[in-house]
Amino acid sequence: MNPQQTQLAAGAGDRPDTESRPGVPLALRYRKLTVYLLIFYVPLLVIPWVLTCVMSGSPAPNGNSGQRYFPQYGLAAHGVYSMLSWVAAIRTLNSIASVATIPVTSTLLAQAAVVYTQKRKALQRLTLRQLFALADRRWSDVTAVLEAARTAGRGIGSPFLWLGMGLIALSAVQHPLQQLLVSWESIPVMTCLDNPTGACGSMTPVVVGYDPEPADLATIHQNRVVQEVMSSLATFNMLDLETHLWPDPSYLDDHVAVITDPTWRQTLRYWAMGETTSGDDVMNHTPNFFVTALQNATGTGVLREHALRFNSSAWCDKIPRAKFPEPCPGKRPFYRSLSKSPFLDIRVCAPGEYGVHPWSLSRNRQEIGEDLYLDVVDGRINTPDPVANFTLHCRTSTTRGYFELGNHMNSQIYGPLLGEWPDPDTMAREFNDELNLQAGKGGGPPTESDETHGYHRYSLNMWNTEPADPYGTYMLNTSGPLMTTAIALFGNQSFFEMAANASDKTFPPAAQQICQQGRLPFSNLGITVFNDFQRMCGSLISGVFGSPIGGEPDEVLTSLIGNWVSSFNDTTAAELGLIAGMYLSNRAMLTQTVTASSTFSARKIHFGAGMLVPFPVKTLAGTAVVSIFIFLQLVGLAYVTYYIYQLPTWTAALDAVAIARIGVGLRHNELPPLGDGEEVVGAMLNKVDGWIGLDAGEARLTLGGPGVITRRHATKKVKE
């Protein structure tokens, strides 16, 4: 606005001549407060987020489970306290930043508003009402938007006001958004106190079980295992809760498994019948469970350790009698027969070599196959329930190997069967398995094959006693699970051996001894597959099954054995019986080996609770959103800073003192008196130029001055 226009405006009562207004001395300088504020605030904004991103992915996430992976040697106490200190630092800095965001941003905008109100170009437009709105810092007042929408409020807004309001909104929403998208959870961190090797003291983690070594399994005595299997076969029930029975991880992928009662899955009834995929009682040839020496669902906390597992399956088929192998093949096959001609003839053949452990010492996955033949000829005629002649061939498969126990790393879900044992470097770096100090090499991580030198034999001699061994089988080692089951069913000290050697002079009669001593296998297994032989024993002795009271002992015995063996004429029942027997054999071999070797060479399974440390949890999308908001906020602050230092300013902010100095240059008809309505005041202020410019001589600053302020007008700092 040139002087002529100003004077005309003043004469019309609208705008006064700028030369008639008093000015202020020219004192323009750059302010250092902006730099100080940025040095204070930017670290508060950036550092906590960078630390959050680092901690949320550090040391490294496990790709399979999403759980964090920490060094398996454990962190020292100072390492844990260091992490806790970083967490406290992040939370403290975030709290300070959330409080300081609006004041700092508003202060920077106030400095930038001074630059905006100074005349920077000839055609600049700014009214006094817009200047007052900037002086009031209306960018942090949401009512400014509503006021601008009304007729009385038109004219208060300026581009700078709306940009400032946007930056304030961006800054205000960033911290709540970060709290929404980034949560914190307490993560168990392994410390050296959890390390089984006692890395930082004499304290070691809790021992939750023992796992037998392959070398000890290879030397556990057969009679020790067979005695337990024989005893268990007579009392085992399909509905018993088996604590050593574990569902295979592949089963857990079945949607039916999600809704199944976990305790129901610990019964043989659930696994032996095909109820995992349907409601039909169809035999499942390959039951999806395995056996360990540990209690079901044993976990190791923050530690990573392995355990040995066995799983067996069975398939039985009827074959022609001519295919029964005669003689029974193998280096030392198991063969038994019972002949009560002309009533009943039974032959049993398990090819191979009993008394020899079929596994190597390797921890890698191993699989063996075993066979069992059963031939039955029933010559009874007058019995109401004769046994049909049949010849049965059963094939079994048993897999041995290791799996990783449930821990924090795998979300407490134990792993699948390993094909190969990890190499020594991996074992030392990522796992916590430790050999017993009394084992062959005296501690350290297990390798693919370790020898314990039979230390459990000393344990047996000192703390345990072997079962009675009238047959001289003391030095025989445990065979495969099918061979062990066959020996328990038909071998020495079994009911079958007693029946085979019985005569009319046996007293008390063999049938009575078998029933009274509870030695009949599968007598309690389940009435849906095997008969209820507990009830049958009493009825049989009483003459219910075709033998009169006081009948011939051989006839009574033949009825008992004939009715028992008839269950195997059903291949489903035969498979179920063998699966139950092999489960008991695997369980007995594992637990008996642990009992014999726990003092010396059995490997301890530990549980480490760790120390809970809060860690941020965020998604990739959440990280991107928060990072974008922080980046935009930094860009906004950088632009405001750049804008502030475009020109030297006459005041640090449009505060009350600055507005009072501006008011000195106003005439009485430019600033309405008290009592006028809001619309009248607004309309009058909209007609007054609101920029601060130089007067004609460029010596003083004045409201509405025509002179443009540039960098060259900067002066040295003066006391105001």
Percent residues over pLDDT 90 in the chain: 41
- The whole-angstrom distance between residue 248's C-alpha and the CA centroid of its chain comes to 18
Say whether pLDDT at 100 is over 80: yes
C-alpha neighbours within 13 Å on the C-beta side of residue 333: 17
Strands (E), 385-542: 390-404
Coil, helix or strand at residue 376: strand
Say whether pLDDT at 606 is over 90: yes
User: pTM of the entire structure?
Assistant: 0.76
Residue 647 DSSP code: S
Pairing of strands 289-291, 245-247: antiparallel
Q: Are 168 and 632 in contact (CB under 8 A)?
A: no
Say whether pLDDT at 404 is over 80: yes
Q: Looking at residue 582, what is its pLDDT?
A: 97
Say whether pLDDT at 625 is over 70: yes
Q: What integer is the mean pLDDT of 15-41?
A: 73
CA distance 605 to 297: 13
Say whether pLDDT at 419 is over 90: yes
Q: At 407, is the pLDDT very low, low, confident or very high (cuts 50, 70, 90)?
A: very high
Percent residues over pLDDT 70 in the chain: 78
Least confidently predicted of 11-25, 226-240, 261-275, 590-604: 11-25
Q: Looking at residue 444, what is its pLDDT?
A: 86
Which residues contact residue 69 at a Cβ distance below 8 angstroms, ignoring those fewer than 6 apart?
A: 59, 60, 61, 62, 409
> How far separated are the first and last CA of the chain, in Å rounded?
29
pLDDT in tens, 231-282: 999 889 888 999 999 998 877 666 555 566 778 888 888 887 655 444 444 4
How does 660-693 read in b/e, with b if 16+ C-beta sit within 10 Å? Answer: ebbeebbeeebeeeeeeeeeebbbbbeebbbbbb
Q: What integer is the mean pLDDT of 573-599?
A: 93
Out of 198-207, 373-382, 680-689, the most confident range is 373-382
How many other β-carbons are positioned within 10 Å of the β-carbon of residue 643?
Answer: 17
Q: What is the mean pLDDT of the chain?
A: 81
Q: Looking at residue 1, what is its pLDDT?
A: 39
Q: Looking at residue 720, what is its pLDDT?
A: 41
Q: Looking at residue 276, what is its pLDDT?
A: 45
Least confidently predicted of 49-58, 307-316, 617-626: 49-58
Say whether pLDDT at 61 is over 70: no
CA distance 509 to 391: 29
Q: Looking at residue 193, what is its pLDDT?
A: 84
Say whether pLDDT at 610 is over 50: yes
Q: At 23, is the pLDDT very low, low, confident or very high (cuts 50, 70, 90)?
A: low
Regarding predicted confidence, which is higher, 499 or 526?
A: 499
Say whether pLDDT at 83 is over 80: yes
Say whether pLDDT at 579 is over 50: yes
Q: Looking at residue 354, what is its pLDDT?
A: 95
Say whether pLDDT at 293 is over 90: yes
CA distance 147 to 156: 8
Regarding predicted confidence, which is higher, 99 or 77?
A: 99
How does 480-516 read in b/e, with b if 16+ C-beta sit within 10 Å? Answer: bbbbbbbbbbbbbbbbbbbbbebeeebeebbbbbbbe
pLDDT in tens, 513-565: 777 776 788 888 875 556 666 666 766 555 544 444 445 667 777 878 888 88
CA distance 16 to 412: 82
Q: Looking at residue 298, what is its pLDDT?
A: 96
Regarding predicted confidence, which is higher, 251 or 85?
A: 85
Q: What integer is the mean pLDDT of 431-449?
A: 82
Q: At 195, is the pLDDT very low, low, confident or very high (cuts 50, 70, 90)?
A: confident
Which residues contact residue 438 at a Cβ distance below 8 angstroms, ignoring those fewer than 6 apart?
A: 455, 599, 600, 601
